[in-house]
Amino acid sequence: GENVEQHPSTLSVQEGDSAVIKCTYSDSASNYFPWYKQELGKGPQLIIDIRSNVGEKKDQRIAVTLNKTAKHFSLHITETQPEDSAVYFCAASYASGGSYIPTFGRGTSLIVHP
């Protein structure tokens, strides 16, 4: 099955700095790569996703890059703000029997210091 590794487990930055979270996956069949943000005591929410036919996608201060050959993808957050503090999960999935069953990384706790 799919295996997703995520690094770092904890990331501490100053407000205004950039933050980068990296993930690798093992199954070349995976073709959908979402990122979820989880605030304390809440369920995760999708913040950005990318498909295997695209190398980069941006949405305001966040961007995701994908290198299919190396089987790794990254989340980039620029101009970080205290409200970006949360746990971020990457995932990899592919269609199987009409469903996408994502495999999640272990999460990165991002702390943005004012």
Partner 1 sequence: DGGITQSPKYLFRKEGQNVTLSCEQNLNHDAMYWYRQDPGQGLRLIYYSQIVNDFQKGDIAEGYSVSREKKESFPLTVTSAQKNPTAFYLCASSRPATNEKLFFGSGTQLSVL
Which of left, alpha, beta for 27 (phi over 0: left; psi -120 to 50: alpha)? beta
- Residue 24 CB, shortest distance to partner 1, in Å, is 14
Instruction: Verify binding: residue 32, partner 1, rule CB under 8 A.
Output: yes
- Residue 54 CB, shortest distance to partner 1, in Å, is 14
Structure tokens at 88: 């971020």
Per CB under 8 A, which region of 40-48, 53-61, 64-72, 78-86 contacts partner 1?
A: 40-48
Per CB under 8 A, which region of 13-21, 54-62, 71-79, 103-111 contacts partner 1?
A: 103-111
Sole binder of partner 1 in the list 21, 35, 44, 77 (CB under 8 A): 44
